[in-house]
Chain A
Amino acid sequence: MKVLEMQNIGKSFNDLEVLRDISLEVDHGEVVSIIGPSGSGKSTLLRCATFLEKVDFGKIKYLGKPATMVNDENRAMYVGSSQLAEIKNYFSLVFQNFNLFPHYSVIKNITEAPLSVQHRDKEEVMEDAHKLLRKMGLEAKANAYPYQLSGGQQQRVAIARALAMKPEILFFDEPTSALDPELTAEVLKVIRQLADEKMTMVIVTHEMPFARAVSDRVIFIDGGVIVEQGDPEIVLGNPQQARTRQFLQTYQR
């Protein structure tokens, strides 16, 4: 079962074409990493997948349910807002700069939306939240406020907040780019653990060794198109395209 299907996506900001005919399908339990230079459209792709931006062209489906339909020219039309709201339950997004709610404690950051958006049972939500905190190694921080946490801790709370919604697929937009190296490691460890548990994930990252270790598939994007994709050992270890090789060279230390 495909969790996500994006077909022939096109997206422009005014005159600037940012995504060109991009297709991305993600299977249940699959971990896909997206790499590429700054400004190549990685964030835009995730923002389109999570409806923070609207695509101009192409189909988007989650679990077979269409979020957009297309006309003869492949121009996208979104389905009604109640259907979109239902589809929104299937995914969540972890931001580069966490975007925790500063006025909520850690536990409230995690439980507020399951309670007031999903209207789930309070006891069950609390129990889930504490389990998630344990998993993130943050049990002791349940009542702390975001400003009292390190960046790495904040990002782990943000991951817990996303997981608390029980999404089918989790998107990460450079989850460690705002972090120091030692804090990066603790966040990557958590994501790796999720991968081991077969969480379906799409991860935009510049951490090449991490992408290689954790991904089932790596996609290299440049200039708003997919240049190369496939097995991480090939894309990262023995890329077939000159542009991919060139890009990877800038990341070698």
Chain B
Amino acid sequence: MLGLMGQGMLKTCAIFILTLIGSIPFGMVVCRLRKSSFAPVRYITKFYISVMRGTPLMLQLLVWYFAPYYLFRMNIADWRFPAIIVGFVMNYAAYFAEIYRGGVDSMPVGQYEAAEILGYSKMQTFFKIIMPQVAKRVLPAVTNETITLVKDTSLAFTLAYQELFSVTKQVAATGTSMVPFAVAALFYYVANYVVAFVMEKIEKKLDYYK
């Protein structure tokens, strides 16, 4: 039982880590596009964000998984795990993008003007001046989102992926026992404890300026 569940935990961790690695930077790109001065880009990005936030992630995962088959008759045998990661990254990037946008909009205009006077390009201004300060401002909201992600990984069961939640259900059913549930709960709880601990450390690290 523990062996199976251990494997499930590893897979859950894989979803969690790959989603963060993908969506935290991709969210920045989405945020940038959402604030593009070219209106069509802005509207398309806005639409993408509203779809990602306005439909169930579970449904999105199903679409990512089955779309290649229904649209292009592609073989999706090896597409299960990639589809999960793409689905999670696309969804979480939308949420992160909106969090970043709130942070970006709270930046005083003087920071942009100082950067412009010093000759920074728009790109440089965004990545050197604005984003680092926004990072500090949005950290609490990002922590919330990350804690939600730990729990959301269980949605991968929709695609019959053998992460912790799927495995737990099976193991509990065959063994007719409550123990697997308790183990899974403990795992999610500890994982979030670690997340909170790490985020607090990062917050402290950014405490060097006000």
List chain A positions with a Cβ less than 8 A from chain B: 50-52, 85, 88-89, 92-93, 95, 97, 99-103, 112-113, 116-118, 145-147, 161-162, 165
Classify chain B's interface size.
Answer: 10 to 19
When the two chains form their complex, are residues B120 and A101 in contact, meaning their CB atoms are under 8 A apart?
Answer: no
Apart from the given pairs A95-B114, A113-B119, A162-B117, 14 other A-B contacts in the complex at a CB distance below 8 Å: A51-B116, A99-B110, A99-B113, A101-B114, A102-B209, A103-B132, A103-B133, A103-B209, A116-B128, A117-B124, A118-B119, A145-B208, A147-B209, A165-B119
When the two chains form their complex, are residues A95 and B113 in contact, meaning their CB atoms are under 8 A apart?
Answer: yes
Residues on the B chain within 8 Å of A50, using CB = 117
Which chain A residue shows the least CB distance to B208?
A145
Residues on the A chain within 8 Å of B124, using CB = 116-117
Could you tell me the distance between the alpha carbons of A99 and B108 in the complex, rounded to whole angstroms? 9
- List the 8 closest pairs (A to B, CB-CB), nearest first: A99-B110, A99-B114, A113-B118, A147-B210, A117-B119, A145-B209, A93-B117, A103-B132
Among residues 87 to 119 in chain B, which have CB atoms less than 8 Å away from a CB atom of chain A? 108, 110-111, 113-114, 116-119
Among residues 127 to 168 in chain B, which have CB atoms less than 8 Å away from a CB atom of chain A? 128-129, 132-133, 136
A-B contact pairs, 9 of them (CB 8 A): A95-B113, A99-B111, A99-B113, A101-B114, A102-B133, A103-B132, A116-B120, A145-B210, A147-B209
When the two chains form their complex, are residues A89 and B119 in contact, meaning their CB atoms are under 8 A apart?
Answer: yes
When the two chains form their complex, are residues B119 and A85 in contact, meaning their CB atoms are under 8 A apart?
Answer: yes
Known: A95-B110, A97-B110, A147-B210. A112 touches B128 (CB 8 A): yes
Could you tell me the distance between the alpha carbons of A161 and B210 in the complex, rounded to whole angstroms? 20
Residues on the A chain within 8 Å of B129, using CB = 101
Could you tell me the distance between the alpha carbons of A165 and B113 in the complex, rounded to whole angstroms? 16
Residues on the A chain within 8 Å of B114, using CB = 95, 99-101
Known: A99-B111, A103-B132. A52 touches B208 (CB 8 A): no
Residues on the B chain within 8 Å of A99, using CB = 108, 110-111, 113-114
Which chain A residue shows the least CB distance to B131?
A103
Give B41 Cβ to nearest chain A Cβ, in Å: 20
Which chain A residue shows the least CB distance to B132?
A103
